[in-house]
Every structure is written in structure tokens, then in C-alpha cells.
Amino acid sequence: MKLADFKTMPRDGFPTTNQWMLDFGKYHLSVITGGYGNAEAPYEIAVFAADDGVSQGFVQLPGITGPGDDVRGYTTADEVDAVITKLYTITGQKPVQIHT
């Protein structure tokens, strides 16, 4: 399970930004480009609590986002892949891509 396994989607309202939204059941992982990042680490991630497939609000999870941080920027593809693996381990659910 890697980010490259999922389709790049344009982010609504942000024509130069791409987004991937992955559903892990009780969590959603948002990954974007065009946010806090650079050429070497272009991804920005955020985790949301989810209920019945609907994102509810930011969640801070140890090892994914830092204390007091809802968003983690300057993330590499390998780091995003590691977060996908962590969320799969936490939830036991393979991610399903959803549209925003």
C-alpha cells in the first residue's frame, strides 16, 4: 500500500493542488501537494476522525502528526507510505480512496 497505488485527484477550489483522500474506516488521511512542502518533500498530510465515511475533524496521532500539529508538511513519498502503513496497522482496514 503506497500513495502511488492511488489516483491523483485535483483539489476542489485549488487548481494547482493535487489531493489524495484515503478512508481507513475511523480515520481519513488527506495528502496534498501545493501546501507546506518543497521539491524534495512535496506532500502535506492531515488525519481526520471519520464517522460513516464523513470526515469529522483533525486528529493528532503519535508518529504521524506532532503534538499540537494538525498538519504535517514537508513530507516525502516514503514518509507518506509509512503513514499509510501505520494507519492500516492501527485500523486493520486497507485504505479506500474517496473523493473530496
Mean pLDDT of 22-43: 94
Q: Nearest to residue 6, comparing CAs of 25, 31, 39, 43? A: 31
- Give the pLDDT band (50/70/90) at residue 17: confident
3-state secondary structure of 62: coil
The sign one gets for the Cα dihedral 21, 22, 23, 27 is: negative
* The pLDDT value given to residue 100: 58
Contact between 80 and 7 under an 8 Å Cβ cutoff? The reply is: no
pLDDT in tens, 45-76: 999 999 888 888 999 999 899 888 999 999 99
